[in-house]
Amino acid sequence: MSELRVSRWSPGKIAGAMDARISGPAAGSPQITGVTTDTRALRPGELFVALRGERFDGHHFVEAALDAGAAAVVVDDLSSCPPGTAAIVVDDTLRGLAALGHALFVEAGRDGLHSVAVTGSNGKTTVKELLKVLWGTGGEVWATPGNLNNHIGVPLTLCGIPRACDHLIVEMGANHVGEISELIKLAPGDERIITSIGKAHLEGFGSLAGVRRGKSEIFEGADRETAAIVPADEAALLLDEEFPGRVLRVGAGGPAEVQVGWGGLEPDAQGRLSSRVIVEVDSRKWALSLPLVGRHNAQNLGAALATLIARDEVPSEAELNQALSGLDLPGGRLRVVRAGELEILDDAYNANPTSMRASYEAFASWCDEAGLPRLAVIGDMKELGDFADEEHRQLARWLAGQALTSIAFVGEFGPVMREAAADINGGAECVAMSEVDEISRWLQRRGAARVFLKGSRANRLERVIDALRPESPAPQR
């Protein structure tokens, strides 16, 4: 791992950033090589931050952290520390972690670091990964690792900034109004993206208007140098006329500064299924091969490319295509998996009503040239609150009207979705299932087919692929 910026900070400087005091031998402790909140992943030399949560208390793991080689610990109560522990004592460990992350971000910015902040109902991680490869054409990139996009993950991302870093990509997630407002204060990006607005986390946001309000917080504190990148059809609802910076609307047709066209699917140089995408800005045009299926991913590529357009740092078309050829999304995000006679489009990482429809449309476009039966395994959509029953029914009716041969509904709302689908005379066989082995046997009995696999993380639908491919299990997440 590259040397981190924090490794050049003394315990005293870290304590100063946290508005904390040092206890024990922390002033003379070994060099701090990184920051963690998880003793299971702690590497010798790291600083352990003991967070408190509703179901955990990191102070109970201080001794485990020291046994694993922690150079020092951050606590709010010294009684959890053995005598002689090198400790940084704060009033609130989460606020201390956030303050340290922000201080490292500010220092890096003074040294010339460029940064992009990304949020949205769907597509955040895809756009983050696109930004990594695109900005990687012009320097070293550090981006949110995994799904560390919340009030803990964003500070940890900032604490992980390498010293050799030119571009920082920070993904910001939220499930209620006010959350993005706090995150953008920690890392106010030079470019700020809203990828999409959809029916995600309605339980916390309360409505689609609440989603827009919460995501729009990413533009708080912007100045004349800030670029806002938004879906063209949502721009008027996400930005007010007083936004001080540059606005780049992304879309197909209409009043979009960044025009995006999707030209269907084709194999790329590595044999992967790729989308043909055309991006146009004024008189400039780029013909790109994106190794992802789906019209919505063309929009994601347009949003990512818009950050380079905003800074007038777009490399050549050949360099862009070379960079895109290295795109490798985490498992469960529109990857094609083969299991015997079945070809599966695995998008089981997460789900909400908007992403369900967008992903299915990607699946349908993939199936158009195959002529094989189309099957779907559909899991629950979580965090919909009072909207859950009706949203599941609406989705089931919509799917039953598509060109599907059979649909298996899985999870708590499986019977509800099967009942709703039966209201539509679409010709698809509809069943409700709960056990992974039952689902895998149901799929195998269908012979050669293409399968759409999607649901919220709680469904753990990747286990279906594990059952179908016991000799080569799907990656665990």
Identify the pLDDT of residue 28.
62
**Residue at 185 is within a domain:** yes
Which SS3 state, helix, strand or coil, does residue 299 take? helix
Are 227 and 246 a contacting pair, CB within 8 Å?
yes
Task: Answer yes or no: do 10 and 153 share one domain.
Answer: no
Which SS3 state, helix, strand or coil, does residue 215 take? helix
In sequence order, what DSSP letters do the residues of 409-436 get, joined into one string? Answer: EESTTHHHHHHHHTTS----EEEEE--H
Beta strands across the sheet bearing 374-378: 335-339, 342-346, 449-454, 374-378, 406-410, 429-433
Task: Answer yes or no: do 81 and 179 share one domain.
Answer: no
Task: Answer yes or no: do 304 and 211 share one domain.
Answer: yes
**Residue at 100 is within a domain:** no
Q: What is the CATH number of the domain that holds 439?
A: 3.90.190.20
Are 62 and 73 a contacting pair, CB within 8 Å?
yes
Task: Answer yes or no: do 30 and 161 share one domain.
Answer: no
Task: Answer yes or no: do 90 and 118 share one domain.
Answer: no
Which SS3 state, helix, strand or coil, does residue 445 take? coil
Q: How do residues 396-414 score in pLDDT, each as one tens digit?
A: 999 999 999 999 999 999 9
Q: pLDDT tier at 124 (50, 70, 90 boundaries)?
A: very high
Q: How do residues 275-291 score in pLDDT, each as one tens digit?
A: 999 999 999 999 999 98
Are 299 and 318 a contacting pair, CB within 8 Å?
no
**Residue at 475 is within a domain:** no
Q: Average pLDDT, whole number, for the chain?
A: 92
Are 41 and 30 a contacting pair, CB within 8 Å?
no
What whole-number distance in Å separates Cα of residue 157 and Cα of residue 101? Answer: 8
Burial of 365 (0-12, 13-18, 19+ CB in 10 A): middle
pTM: 0.85
Structure tokens that stand for 140 in this block = 């070293």
pLDDT higher than 60, residue 477: no
116-120, 165-169, 421-425: segment of lowest average pLDDT: 421-425
The residues near 385 (Cβ < 8 Å, ≥ 6 apart) are 202, 203, 204
Count the domains in the chain. 3
Are 286 and 279 a contacting pair, CB within 8 Å?
yes
Task: Answer yes or no: do 375 and 459 share one domain.
Answer: yes
The label of the residue with tokens 């290295």 reads: 326
Are 294 and 263 a contacting pair, CB within 8 Å?
no
Task: Answer yes or no: do 21 and 159 share one domain.
Answer: no
User: Which among 406, 414, 391, 403 has a CA at the least distance from the CA of 461?
Assistant: 414
pLDDT higher than 70, residue 374: yes
pLDDT higher than 90, residue 427: no
What are the φ and ψ backbone dihedral angles of 276, each rounded to 5 degrees? -85, 120
pLDDT higher than 60, residue 468: yes
Q: pLDDT tier at 473 (50, 70, 90 boundaries)?
A: very low
Task: Answer yes or no: do 186 and 293 share one domain.
Answer: yes
Are 228 and 240 a contacting pair, CB within 8 Å?
no
pLDDT higher than 60, residue 29: no
What is the domain extent for residue 89?
Answer: 5-95
Last residue within a domain, chosen from 324, 349, 374: 324
Are 304 and 143 a contacting pair, CB within 8 Å?
no
What are the φ and ψ backbone dihedral angles of 317, each rounded to 5 degrees? -60, -40
The mean per-residue pLDDT over the stretch 6-16 comes to: 93
Task: Answer yes or no: do 138 and 236 share one domain.
Answer: yes
301-305, 415-419, 463-467: segment of lowest average pLDDT: 463-467
Task: Answer yes or no: do 366 and 406 share one domain.
Answer: yes
Identify the pLDDT of residue 457.
85
The torsion angle over the Cα atoms of residues 140, 146, 150 and 155, rounded to 10 degrees, is -40
pLDDT over 70 percentage in the chain = 95
The residues near 38 (Cβ < 8 Å, ≥ 6 apart) are none
pLDDT higher than 90, residue 264: no
Last residue within a domain, chosen from 324, 355, 390: 324
Phi and psi based region of residue 233 (left: phi greater than 0; alpha: psi -120 to 50; beta: remaining) = alpha
Identify the pLDDT of residue 246.
97
pLDDT higher than 70, residue 30: no
What are the φ and ψ backbone dihedral angles of 67, each rounded to 5 degrees? -65, -30
pLDDT over 90 percentage in the chain = 73
Q: What is the CATH number of the domain that holds 316?
A: 3.40.1190.10
What whole-number distance in Å separates Cα of residue 233 and Cα of residue 249? Answer: 8
pLDDT higher than 90, residue 328: no
**Cα angle at 281 between 277 and 284, to 5 degrees?**
85
Side chain identity at 58, as an amino acid letter?
A: G
33-42, 216-225, 294-303, 428-437: segment of lowest average pLDDT: 428-437
Q: pLDDT tier at 270 (50, 70, 90 boundaries)?
A: low
Q: How do residues 134-151 score in pLDDT, each as one tens digit?
A: 999 999 999 999 889 999
What whole-number distance in Å separates Cα of residue 453 and Cα of residue 440? Answer: 12
**Residue at 53 is within a domain:** yes
Task: Answer yes or no: do 339 and 320 share one domain.
Answer: no
Q: What is the CATH number of the domain that holds 85?
A: 3.40.1390.10
What whole-number distance in Å separates Cα of residue 239 and Cα of residue 228? Answer: 9
**Residue at 330 is within a domain:** no
Identify the pLDDT of residue 272.
67
Are 347 and 378 a contacting pair, CB within 8 Å?
no
**Residue at 301 is within a domain:** yes
Which SS3 state, helix, strand or coil, does residue 210 take? helix
**Residue at 473 is within a domain:** no
Task: Answer yes or no: do 410 and 356 share one domain.
Answer: yes
* Residues β-bridged to residue 174: none
The mean per-residue pLDDT over the stretch 200-229 comes to: 95
Last residue within a domain, chosen from 324, 347, 373: 324
Identify the pLDDT of residue 474.
41
Are 4 and 101 a contacting pair, CB within 8 Å?
no
The mean per-residue pLDDT over the stretch 45-73 comes to: 95
Q: How do residues 83-107 score in pLDDT, each as one tens digit?
A: 989 999 999 999 999 999 999 999 9
Q: Packing angle between helix 388-400 and helix 353-367, nearest 10 degrees?
A: 10
What whole-number distance in Å separates Cα of residue 299 and Cα of residue 231? Answer: 8
The mean per-residue pLDDT over the stretch 43-55 comes to: 94
The mean per-residue pLDDT over the stretch 452-470 comes to: 89
**Residue at 104 is within a domain:** no
Residues in the chain: 477
136-145, 149-158, 363-372: segment of lowest average pLDDT: 363-372
Are 343 and 373 a contacting pair, CB within 8 Å?
no
22-26, 62-66, 188-192, 208-212: segment of lowest average pLDDT: 22-26
pLDDT higher than 70, residue 271: no
What kind and span of H or E run contains 321?
A: helix 317-324
97-111, 328-342, 457-471: segment of lowest average pLDDT: 328-342
